[in-house]
Amino acid sequence: MAAFEKLLSSVKVGSHTLPNRVIMPSMGSNLADGQGQVTPAMLAYYRARAAGRPGLLVVEAACVHHSGKVIDRNFMAHDDSLIEGMTELASVVKKQGSAPILQLIHGGRNAHPRLVGEPMAPSALRGPTAHSTPRAMTVIEIEAMVQAFARAAWRAMKAGFVGVEIHGAHEYLVHEFLTPYANKRQDVYGGDLERRARFAVEVVQAVRVAVGREAIISFRLSGDDHVAGGMGPAEAAATAKLLVPAGVDIISVTGGVYETPSMVVPPTPMPPGTHVEAARQVKAAVDVPVAGVGRIRNAAEAEAALNGLDMVAVGRAFLADPDWLNQAAAGRTNGVRPCIGCNQGCIDKVLYGAPVSCVSNPWVGLELQAQQLKPATNPATAVVVGGGLAGMEAARTLGQLGHKVVLFEAAEELGGQLRLACLPPGKDEFRGMIDYYRQALSEMPNVEIRLGTKATVGAVCKINPSAVVVAAGSEPILPDLPGAGDAPLVNARQVLAGEVPVGHKVAVMGGGNLGSEVAHYLATRGHDVCIIELGLGIGNDLGPARRYHLRRELGKYKVRRYIRAKVRRLFKNKVSFLHTRPDGSRQLTYVEPVDTFVSAMGAKPNEKIFLALEPKVSAIFLVGDAMSPAGMGQATSEGVRAALEIHRLAGEGALSAPPSGPSC
C-alpha cells in the first residue's frame, strides 16, 4: 500500500466517508435507449466499472430537460417515469461497493436542433462548433430550468443515488452562463463574475433543498476554457468561492470547450494531469475537497496528481481495465490493460452516435456476454495467423477460455502495425498494448507463440486445427500514376520503419491519419514537408480531439497542406496535381523540388493464406486488416468476436464438421 498511500486512503466528502480518493467521472456511453431509459447493457457496463471500486462513481450525464439533449441516446432524468431504471442502476453500483452519484446536464447551445428544435442558451451566440444559433433564454425560462435541475436531483435521490453532480463545464448550459466566452447578457444573469455565476448558484441552492443535507453535491467546474475570452484558473477559483456556500461538497476541476476538444478529452500525446494545476489553484481558494483530472492513466499518475488535491478523477482507465484500482491495491500494476489516449472507441464513437467501446478493451459493450461465459468444456485447437492487434486479442481470448492456441507471426516480435504506430511523436505509449498482450499470452500455458515463423498451408495443416483465425494484416498500396516508376516513391510504413532513405523536401500523398502522422514525424526531424490530400481536410478520419491536436502540430512545424488536390503525375523531382479551390475553380498546380514522395494512399488486405486455407478448414475467420483495412478498434473487436464464435461452436460440438474441400 505504501506506493499508493494517499490514493488508497479514505476521504470525507460532505457527510460521507469514501474508502479511497478515486472518482470515476461521468463518461457518455450511448447505452441508454431512445427515450433515455436504462437498458440491460447499461447496467452490465456500470456493474463492471463499479466492481473496480472507485470511491465515487459518477454516472453519465443525465439531461434534466428535453430541450437539452445532445446525442440521440442521451441518458435522461427529466421525468418520473425514469426513476425505476435509475433505481436499478444505483443499486447495481452500490452492490459492487462504490458510491454512485448522478451527473445532471443541459446541453445549452450544444443541444442538437434535430433532437430539441431551437436550442436555448444564455445569449443568442452560436459557438464555433454548434449546430445552430440558440435563442437567448428569458428570466422565466432560467427560473424554470433551475427547478428542472432540482427535480432531476430529487429523482436521483428517490432512485437511491448518494448524490448528484452538476455539470458546469465543457460549454454546456451551466458553464455557458459562467463563462464570458458564451454569456454576453447584461441583466442579473450576465456581466461581472458574480452575475454570471448567479444561475449556477441558484441551481446548487435548489438542488440542495431537493436532495437534503446528507446527499453529496459535486460541481464539475471548468478550471480553464483554453480559449480566448473564456474562464481561466483565477476566475474558476473565484467561482468556486461562490459555489461552496450555496451547498457544494466537492469540486471536480476539468477544462476545455467544444472549440478546444483536445482539452476536454486530452488525447495522446498530451501529458498526464492536464487540469491538475488549475485544480490546485481552485483548492487554494476553498475548504471543500477538490479533484483534478486529465489523462491520468494509472495508479502512479493518480498518486502523483493528489499532491495538493483531495481526489483524482480517472475516466478512460476504467474503460481500458475496470480492475486497475483493485490491482493497484493488491500491489499488482503489471498486466493491466493500458489506456493509450487514442479516443477512438470512447468519446469519438459516442459523439458519432455509436455505443461506447475501447480500442484497448474490446469487452466494453460486451459485458452482458462476458458475464455469461464459462470455460471451454470441449477445448478446440485453434491456429491464429498474425500477431498484430486482431491476432493477439483472438489468441488471448481463446487462451483465457481454455482453448489450445498456436499463433504464427512472421516478424521476430508481436505487434504488427502497432509497432509502427508507436513511432510518430508522442505515441510511444502505444507500445503498452504490445507489452500487455505479450505478458498476457506468455502466462497462458495453452498458448504457443511462434515468432519469426511465416504461416504456410503446410505448417497450419500439420497442427490439424479445429479452427483458424487469419489476422495477417494488410499491404500498402503504391499509386499507379504516370511517372511513378521513375520517381523516388516510397510508402509511409517504410518511412516509419526506417527502411528507406528520405530526402529533405518531402511530398506526402494522402492526408488521413497515416499521412498526417508520417508528415508530423518527418517534420519533427527537420524535413520540409507538404501533404497533398484529395478530400476536404487533413486528418478527417480522426476524432475531433486528435484531429485538432495534430493539425496544430502540423501548423507548428510549418507543414504545407493542399486539400481538394488530385495528384496527376510524378516527376523525378516534382509533382503535379489538380487543385480545386473553395469557390469551385480549378488549377493545375506543381510542387517542386521534391526529393522523396511518400504514399499514404491506403492498403489492401493480405488474404492469400485465408484463400488457401478456406477450403481446407471447416471453421475459418478473417479479421482485422486482413478482411479490410480499418482502425485499431475494429481489429481488437473482430479478434475477440472470432474467438467467441469459435468458443460457441466448440461448446456445441460443431467444429467437427468437414470442410468444403480436401481437408488438412
Examine the domain organization and report whether 296 and 428 are in the same domain.
Answer: no
Give tens-digit pLDDT for 436-482.
999 999 999 999 999 999 999 999 999 999 999 999 999 999 999 99
Give tens-digit pLDDT for 607-618.
999 999 999 998
Q: Which residues share a beta bridge with 406?
A: 383, 448
The average pLDDT across 21-49 equals 97
Examine the domain organization and report whether 446 and 537 are in the same domain.
Answer: no
Give tens-digit pLDDT for 576-586.
999 998 888 99
d(CA 225, CA 258): 9
Give tens-digit pLDDT for 493-514.
999 999 999 999 999 999 999 9
Which residue, 207, 251, 259, is CA-closest to 233? Answer: 251
Q: How confident is the model at residue 657 (pLDDT cuts 50, 70, 90)?
A: low
At position 596, the amino acid (one-letter code) is T
Average confidence score pLDDT of the chain: 95
Give tens-digit pLDDT for 398-432.
999 999 999 999 999 999 999 999 999 989 999 99
Give tens-digit pLDDT for 86-104.
999 999 999 999 999 999 9
Examine the domain organization and report whether 539 and 509 are in the same domain.
Answer: yes
Q: Which residues share a beta bridge with 614?
A: none
Give tens-digit pLDDT for 282-309.
999 999 999 999 999 999 999 999 999 9
The beta-carbon contacts of 135-139 under 8 Å, at least 24 apart in sequence, are 136/185, 139/187, 139/188, 139/189
The average pLDDT across 10-20 equals 97
Does residue 483 fall inside a structural domain? Answer: no
d(CA 503, CA 495): 11
Residue ending a domain, among 334, 368, 402, is 368
Dig out the grid coordinates for 493 from the structure. 510504413
Percent of the residues in the chain that have a pLDDT greater than 70, as a whole number? 99
Does residue 660 fall inside a structural domain? Answer: no
Q: Is the pLDDT of residue 488 over 90?
A: yes
Does residue 526 fall inside a structural domain? Answer: yes
pLDDT of res. 659: 67
Residue 146's contacts (CB-CB under 8 Å, 6 or more residues apart) are 199, 202, 203, 206
Residue ending a domain, among 368, 392, 421, is 368
Q: Are 118 and 69 in contact (CB under 8 A)?
A: no
pLDDT of res. 120: 97
Examine the domain organization and report whether 212 and 301 are in the same domain.
Answer: yes
Domain that holds residue 394: 379-471+608-651
Examine the domain organization and report whether 54 and 70 are in the same domain.
Answer: yes
Examine the domain organization and report whether 230 and 122 are in the same domain.
Answer: yes
pLDDT of res. 2: 63
Domain at 392, CATH number: 3.40.50.720
Give tens-digit pLDDT for 187-224.
999 999 999 999 999 999 999 999 999 999 999 999 99
Examine the domain organization and report whether 342 and 385 are in the same domain.
Answer: no
Domain at 518, CATH number: 3.50.50.60
Find cell 452492490 and name the residue.
Answer: 95
- Report residue 202 CA to chain centroid gap: 33
Residue ending a domain, among 368, 398, 416, is 368
Does residue 62 fall inside a structural domain? Answer: yes
Examine the domain organization and report whether 459 and 573 are in the same domain.
Answer: no
Does residue 478 fall inside a structural domain? Answer: no
Q: Are 401 and 376 in contact (CB under 8 A)?
A: yes
Dig out the grid coordinates for 91 from the structure. 443499486
Examine the domain organization and report whether 590 and 619 are in the same domain.
Answer: no
Report the chain's C-alpha Rg in angstroms.
Answer: 27
Q: How many other C-beta atoms are found inside a 10 Å radius of the C-beta of residue 118?
A: 11
Examine the domain organization and report whether 355 and 454 are in the same domain.
Answer: no
Does residue 476 fall inside a structural domain? Answer: no
Which residue, 222, 98, 247, is CA-closest to 171? Answer: 222
Does residue 477 fall inside a structural domain? Answer: no
Q: Is the pLDDT of residue 319 over 70?
A: yes
The residues assigned a catalytic role are 172
Examine the domain organization and report whether 235 and 132 are in the same domain.
Answer: yes
pLDDT of res. 351: 85
Does residue 79 fall inside a structural domain? Answer: yes
At position 652, the amino acid (one-letter code) is E
The average pLDDT across 151-178 equals 98
Which residue, 455, 389, 423, is CA-closest to 627? Answer: 389
Examine the domain organization and report whether 635 and 544 are in the same domain.
Answer: no
Q: Give the length of the chain.
A: 664
Specify the pairing of strand 467-470 against strand 620-622.
Answer: parallel
Q: Is the pLDDT of residue 186 over 50?
A: yes
Domain at 148, CATH number: 3.20.20.70
**Number of domains, the chain:** 3
Higher pLDDT, 153 or 128: 153
